[in-house]
Structure formats: C-alpha cells, structure tokens
Structure 1
Amino acid sequence: MSNHDQEKNHRPVKRNEMSRRQFLSYTLGGATAFMAAGVTLPMIRFAVDPILKKKSESTWVKVVEEAKVTNEPQEFKFNIHQIDGWYVSDPEQTAWITKDEQGNYFALSPVCKHLGCTIGWNTEKNNEYVCPCHGAHYTMDGKNLSVAPKPLDEYDLKVESGWIYLGPIKANTRV
C-alpha cells in the first residue's frame, strides 16, 4: 500500500451536514412562508368567494295592497335586500304602479332612459310621465315620446293574496 492510499484511507470523511447559517435561513424562510400563506389565503378566499357563489333566484318584494292601485299611476316606495359580495344593504326603490283598462297591473321604473333622472307623473297636466331634467316625455305605458331613446323599464310583477309583489327590472314589454 502506498503512502497515497494510506492518506486517502486516514482522511476524515466529509459529511454533508447543514451549517448553522443554512439551518437558520431554512427555518426563518419556512416560518416566513407559513405566515405569508396564513395572511394571503384568507385574502384570496375573501376576493373569490362572492364570485363563486351561486346567484339566487330573484326575490319578490311585497309593495302594496292590490286594492290601493288605481288606473292613475301612483308612486310607491319599497326596500330591497341586496347582497353585493360581502356588502349587505337595503336601498329604497321606487315604482310607478297602475292598472290598465283590462285590469292588468304593471309597474314602471322611475329612471329616465335619457340621463337617469327621476321622472314624475302628470306634472305638466298632460297625463304623461315627464323628466324634469331634460324634458323627456313618456306615455302611461312608458313609451318614449321625446328626448329619451328608449321606453321606461318595467318591473316583474305578480299578485298574491291581495298584494302586489315586484321583482327585478326588465325591458318594457308594454310598448
């Protein structure tokens, strides 16, 4: 056996051990990643959950007794319960409710289709809806006569147990 072989055999075996510095950096890095995940995952869930929620069927809101509605449009206010992501509110809405010659009830949105102002009924003594902002005029059925490009929107409406219920707004079906 040569000297070289003997030196090779007597050389201390080099182990692949972790140094203190490596141990500390792995430990601190792991702890930091764990804490970052703990903060980030709830934020991601908060942002994504409302998007993934199934849309519920439209809710009907009890607005007025059927007996109170006449052939002359009347303004009725009501509150809707709405959930927008995590924000829950009960904003007040308005509808012009009337019945036609055949006794069918219908409800129109008060929002002018020109620039979104609130319309009023018969303010110029002409049996028309009139917008005070820019002079848009509509018939009792919501048909646009001047200024506005479209007819007034209509609410879904149903009658149950002597009460009128309103649902979501839709395009006007009367004109």
Structure 2
Amino acid sequence: MSQKVTRRQFLNYSLMGVGSFMAAGAILPMGRFALDPLFQGEAQGSMITTSVKTEEITEEPVKVDFSYEQQDAWYTSEVTDFVWVYRDGDNLIALSPICKHLGCTVTWAGDDANPDKFFCPCHNGLYEKNGKNIPGTPPRGPLDQYEVRDSDGFITIGEMFENELV
C-alpha cells in the first residue's frame, strides 16, 4: 500500500531541501576559512641563505641582499630585500633598513657629519650602530632586528623581531 504525498508535503520537502543546500553553501566556506590554519603544512624553513660569506662580515655594517617567494592570493612573486649585517665580537647582528619614523630606507654612513651612524634621508633621522634611535632626531624607536646565522659559511637571514640590543 503506498501513501500519496500531498501537494503541501511536496512543497515543504522541496523548500526544506533547497534551503538546506543554500545554508550549506554559505556555512561550509566559512567553516573552511575558520579551520584553514589546521590544514596548512608547516613552513619548509624560515631561514634564507644569502650569497654573502660569513668571513666577509666585519665590525662595519654591510648591506646583505636576500630574496624570497611571496604569495599574494593566486600570484607568486620573488621579492628582493636587504639587511645591514655586522659583527659584534663573535655575534652576527642583522638590522632592518626601514626607518621607524616614516618607513624610509636608512643607510650606513650616509651623512658626512655622522660617518659612524645609520642615516635616514627623509627627515635627517639618526640611529646608532646597534639600531638605537638618537634623541632629538625623528625616529620613534630602534631599528628592528633580524635573526641571523652562519650556515655552511654563508649568512642566513630569518624572521624580523623587535630590537633586543637597546
């Protein structure tokens, strides 16, 4: 014996089914977005090896270029950047070239009046060799530091962090 489905029941089932598909279509992407960090693999390694040999680094800051791949949505590009690296005893120190005042690029010994300091040409900002901003000049804080190591005789650059030398 078969039961007949009334028109009211048919419309109810149809609307519930369509509503469920629409709700799932809206909720599933949000759930995937919330859980995405769990599905991401660990980074292959955050240290970037440069072409500069560790033995070339002295107590005078040297510009060390490095490049890495950056992915923006679906577009992957190679970014080239640099750090200022010098030796402090047995330690290697790497400082960011970005001024804390307006984000300009600082240079070592860029000002003839201050040959042993980092100089920001935007507003005549000065930093000491360890990245500490000199009072009376525009910078609001010390230059950031990078993790730096020796890997098989070459400089490797890691993550940026707040200056711990000052």
Class of the TM-score when normalised by the shorter of the 2 chains: 0.7 to 0.9
Matched, 1:165 2:165: no
Deviations for 1:48-81, whole angstroms, at most 9, x for unmatched residues?
A: 1334457947611112321332332222221234
Counterpart of 1:94, as a letter, is F
Counterpart of 2:124, as a letter, is G
Separation (CA, whole Å) in 2 of partners of 1:166 and 1:148: 24
Higher mean Cα deviation, 32-41 or 49-58?
Answer: 49-58
Assess if the C-alpha contact under 8 Å between 1:113 and 1:151 holds in 2. Answer: yes
Separation (CA, whole Å) in 2 of partners of 1:55 and 1:95: 28
| Structure 2: runs of 5 or more not aligned | none
Higher mean Cα deviation, 136-145 or 41-50?
Answer: 41-50
The equivalent residue for 2:143 is 152
Deviations for 1:134-174, whole angstroms, at most 9, x for unmatched residues?
A: 11101121121122122111111111211111111122222
| Structure 1: runs of 5 or more not aligned | 1-15
The Cα shift of 1:42 comes to: 4.0
Counterpart of 1:155, as a letter, is Y
The structure where strand makes up a greater share of residues is 2
Separation (CA, whole Å) in 2 of partners of 1:108 and 1:136: 16
The equivalent residue for 1:67 is 55
Which one of 7, 19, 28 corresponds to residue 6 of structure 2?
19
Assess if the C-alpha contact under 8 Å between 2:49 and 2:151 holds in 1. Answer: no
The Cα shift of 1:107 comes to: 0.5
Matched, 1:48 2:34: yes
Deviations for 1:98-153, whole angstroms, at most 9, x for unmatched residues?
A: 113x2432100011112222111111132211111111101121121122122111
The Cα shift of 1:18 comes to: 4.6
What is the alpha-carbon root mean square deviation over aligned residues?
A: 2.9
TM-aligned CA distance change 1:53 to 1:86, over 3 Å? farther
The equivalent residue for 2:125 is 136
The equivalent residue for 2:107 is 120
TM-aligned CA distance change 1:53 to 1:44, over 3 Å? same
Give TM-score, length-normalised by structure 2: 0.77
TM-aligned CA distance change 1:155 to 1:53, over 3 Å? farther
The equivalent residue for 1:96 is 84
The Cα shift of 1:30 comes to: 3.2
**How many residues align structurally?**
158
